[in-house]
Amino acid sequence: MKVLKYDSETLGDRNLMYAYLSGPMRGLPELNFPAFAAVQDALEWWEFGVTNPANLGSPDDSIADCVERDVKAIRNLDPASSCVVLLHGWEHSIGSRAEVALAVWLEIPLLPVPGATDPRSVFPASEAEHSVAAARVFSGGATRDTADGKPDFSGFLSPIVLRRFGAYMLKHQIGPGGTRRDADNWKAGMPQKVYLASLLRHVIDVWGGVGGDDLDGPLDEESLEDALCAVLFNASGLLRERLLDRDVEEA
């Protein structure tokens, strides 16, 4: 769903030349025609070609006639140069909601007038985009859904940080007595207070090491990196225990 902003930049874009007006009519004074006329005048000032359904047909037309006429008008819009303009109260009109759904299906941009309800709050992406045509198509012909709303771990994480953390964890796999612990030994669980106490100790180490306010003097680079890795480990462990909603006891 592409929603445009009603401002001078959008209205002055000469790639956008045509507009279809969508809003409530039935049950409103004068069928809300004055509101349609005002928006049409404003858009024509910006040199838009405007299709105003208030000017189509006659008040005696049946609902079926109106549906056929308005659907045809929207289907004739070119998504590259057209938009459907949403008037105030469009979300309370079953006809206007249907027009918006059709526009989304046809990938025609939507342009709410100032103060009108944003269609994204009425048609969430899970309903409008994913059920319509929001899919990526690749040159080989394969398709898949979009990455919208999904974590981008390649952007969130850093390989050099993970490598350094892995080296830290490997070094600390050796337990008391020289025995090697399994890599996932920590997942068996530790008391949350143990994680928290260690986390705070290493935060203090980092603080003193980076800030140069440690009586023992600044940490060398390897020790500072180890302290940062320890912060990461304890924060991860504590977060995991919280997510699993558990707090194991010391043996």
Residue with tokens 């008037």: 87
Which pLDDT score, from 0 to 100, does residue 133 have? 45
Q: Which two tokens stand for residue 23?
A: 């809003």
Q: Where do the DSSP E strands lie in 28-109?
A: 49-51, 82-86
Report d(CA 46, CA 24) in Å as an integer: 23
Continuous segment of H or E residues that includes residue 19: strand 18-22
Q: Give the pLDDT confidence of 31-74 residue by residue, as tens digits.
A: 899 999 999 999 999 999 999 999 987 777 888 888 999 999 99
Which pLDDT score, from 0 to 100, does residue 136 have? 60
Report d(CA 99, CA 123) in Å as an integer: 12
Which pLDDT score, from 0 to 100, does residue 128 have? 44
Which pLDDT score, from 0 to 100, does residue 125 have? 57
Q: Give the pLDDT confidence of 64-105 residue by residue, as tens digits.
A: 888 999 999 999 999 999 999 999 999 999 999 999 999 999
Which pLDDT score, from 0 to 100, does residue 143 have? 64
Q: Give the pLDDT confidence of 193-231 residue by residue, as tens digits.
A: 999 999 999 998 888 877 666 656 667 889 999 999 999
Q: Where do the DSSP E strands lie in 94-151?
A: 110-112, 135-137, 143-145
Which pLDDT score, from 0 to 100, does residue 99 have? 94
Q: Give the pLDDT confidence of 115-155 residue by residue, as tens digits.
A: 899 998 887 654 444 444 445 666 666 666 666 677 888 88
23-27, 119-123, 185-189, 196-200 — which one is most confidently predicted on average? Answer: 196-200
Mean pLDDT across the chain, nearest whole number? 87
Is residue 79 within 8 A of residue 15, CB to CB? The reply is no
Which pLDDT score, from 0 to 100, does residue 214 have? 61
Report d(CA 131, CA 126) in Å as an integer: 7
Report d(CA 207, CA 218) in Å as an integer: 10
Which pLDDT score, from 0 to 100, does residue 135 have? 55
Report d(CA 72, CA 62) in Å as an integer: 16
